[in-house]
Amino acid sequence: MSKNSKKILNHLSKILEKKNLKPTDNISELKLFDSIIILQIINMCNLNFKKKIDGLQISKCKKIIDIINLIEKK
């Protein structure tokens, strides 16, 4: 896992309030994942990585690694 991926995972872990968040975690199994979380992820990408991420793309992600890849590829 790249340094940048770890940084994104760290931010996601704070947003989702889950300390041991893993890239392989299924989003559908997370307690907190709603429209507010999507806004927080868009916000995090904009402020910390200067990247524009689409809400619809985030909502299509199945696992945490999909979100990380989405942000890295932008």
Partner 1 sequence: MIKEINGIKIEGISCCVPKKTVLNKYSKENQHRARAIKAIGIERRPVANENINTSDLVLKSAKNILKKLKWKVNDVDILIFVTQTPDYLTPATSGILQDKLNLKKSTFVLDINLGCSGYTHGLITISSLMQNLKLKKGLLAVGDVTTQLVNNKDNVSNLLFGDAGSVTALLNTENNSNKILCNYYSDGSGFEDIIVNTHSLSGRNKISKSDFKKKKDKNNNIRSNINIKLNGPNIFSFAINTIPPTLKKILKNVKNIKYCFLHQANKMIQENISSHIKQNYKNVIFPSSLKNFGNTSSASIPITICSNFSKKKIKGNSIFCGFGVGLSISTVVVNLSKTKIFKIIKI
Type of residue at 61: C
Pick one of 8, 58, 67, 70: the residue that binds partner 1 (CB under 8 A): 58
The end-to-end CA distance of the chain, in Å, is 17
Does 54 participate in binding partner 1 (rule CB under 8 A)? yes
Does 1 participate in binding partner 1 (rule CB under 8 A)? no
The CA-CA-CA angle for residues 14, 17, 22, to 5°, reads 80
Could you say which DSSP state residue 34 is in? S
Does 29 participate in binding partner 1 (rule CB under 8 A)? no
- The residue ranges that bind partner 1 (CB under 8 A) are 31-32, 34-36, 38-40, 42-43, 46-47, 52-56, 58-59
